Amino acid sequence: MASTRTHDTRHDPRPSPDRPVLEVLDLHTYLFTRWGTTRAVDGVSFQLHAGEMLGIVGESGCGKSMLALSLVRLTPEPAARILGGQVLLEGTDLLSLPESRMRKLRGREISMILQDPHQSLNPVFSIGNQMEEAARVHERDVSRPEARRRAVELLKTVHVPAPERRLASYPHELSGGMKQRVVGAMAMTYRPKVLIADEPTTALDVTIQAQYLKLLRELKEQTGVAIILITHDFGVIAEACDRVAVMYAGRIVEQGPVRDIFDRPRHPYTRALLASRPRRDVAMERLAVIEGQPPSLTDLPLGCRFAPRCPYAVDRCREQYPDPYQVSPAHTAWCWRSEEQPWAPR
């Protein structure tokens, strides 16, 4: 069993057929506040291939959003600081670039969709105006008619009906789903290689959510963009993603293909999350809950961060952070008891 463990957490040991578009290595982002240091992202590594959709799932405050912001280097100054690690976009370390070069990559190579479509558009300008503006951020010499033509094209790719007329609309005249489509279109202006979607469907209602996830998949297939989908909802992951990484208290505790994670979760936290979602196929009186609170990121336990809430924790879990365990070549779990199945409660 010891032979399947690798002690180097910096490298995903999974054999990769082609070079990943984005490779994150041992990323650390801490927040320095007057109440102490919050280890929001504390040693996260993952890879992302072209045309792949990676879901990052976790509770509120587990560091998902801070991870997303770290990737584009827009963490809130001056509280947050990226202390270590690498973010390799096709081999270039984004963290070592000067800000001026980083700015040229944002939107062009790596783009982002934010949570609330109602807030993502400037209320005082028409959609067309803002899309033309987006098209001219990196290419100043694009003419207005050309920018307009591109805007119409983009709106077509995200299935906005009557795109020519929509250009004259103001944000408040559109529905939430429509706005989020527009925001998606704007994020795709330069055909980025990586698109980070931070809870893009949370503010939408359920039927619109499904449509939007379908749209993201479509964009991925048509343009080969690699998508990082951040969510707290396993349902969204199941619907849209190829792979999933489960985050808890600033670290990835389990990652692998969506099917494997759903069928054979090897981390008690993943399993508890899966058990706590509402299901149609199992009759239940009440939803399962995970007892207790996530640890405060300013005062983390010494060993496994889930140990205080884990029904299977043993002494070792409380003393030492687990090494990664390869369940299969693509599936890794960071739990001392991953190899035992099923777990015996302590």
Binding footprint of other proteins on the chain (CB under 8 A): 72, 74, 78, 103-108, 111-112, 114-116, 119-125, 133-134, 137-138, 161-162, 164-165, 167-168, 172-173, 183, 186-187, 189
What is the amino acid identity at position 72? V
User: In terms of DSSP bridges, do strands 80-89 and 331-333 run parallel, antiparallel, or are they unpaired?
Assistant: unpaired
Task: Give the bridge partners for 29, in sequence order.
Answer: 41, 82
Answer whether 314's CB lies under 8 Å from 337's CB.
yes
- Min separation Cβ 279 and other proteins, Å: 33
Q: Which two tokens stand for residue 97?
A: 């670039």
- Min separation Cβ 118 and other proteins, Å: 8
- Min separation Cβ 62 and other proteins, Å: 20
**Alpha carbon distance 95, 85 (integer Å):** 8
- Min separation Cβ 24 and other proteins, Å: 17
- Min separation Cβ 157 and other proteins, Å: 17
82 vs 317 by CB, closer to other proteins: 82
Q: Which two tokens stand for residue 163?
A: 């795109």
96 vs 320 by CB, closer to other proteins: 96
125 vs 321 by CB, closer to other proteins: 125
Burial class, 47, CB count within 10 angstroms (exposed 0-12 / middle 13-18 / buried 19+): buried
**Alpha carbon distance 217, 240 (integer Å):** 7
Q: What are phi and psi of 47, to 5 degrees?
A: -125, 155
138 vs 149 by CB, closer to other proteins: 138
**Alpha carbon distance 28, 313 (integer Å):** 26
125 vs 262 by CB, closer to other proteins: 125
Residue 26 Ramachandran class (φ > 0 left, ψ -120 to 50 alpha, else beta): left
33 vs 122 by CB, closer to other proteins: 122
Give the strands of the sheet with 194-198, arranged side by side: 110-113, 194-198, 226-231, 53-57, 243-248, 251-257, 331-333, 325-328
- Min separation Cβ 138 and other proteins, Å: 6
**Alpha carbon distance 315, 325 (integer Å):** 18
Q: What are phi and psi of 74, to 5 degrees?
A: -125, 35
- Min separation Cβ 162 and other proteins, Å: 4
200 vs 324 by CB, closer to other proteins: 200
Answer whether 262's CB lies under 8 Å from 243's CB.
no
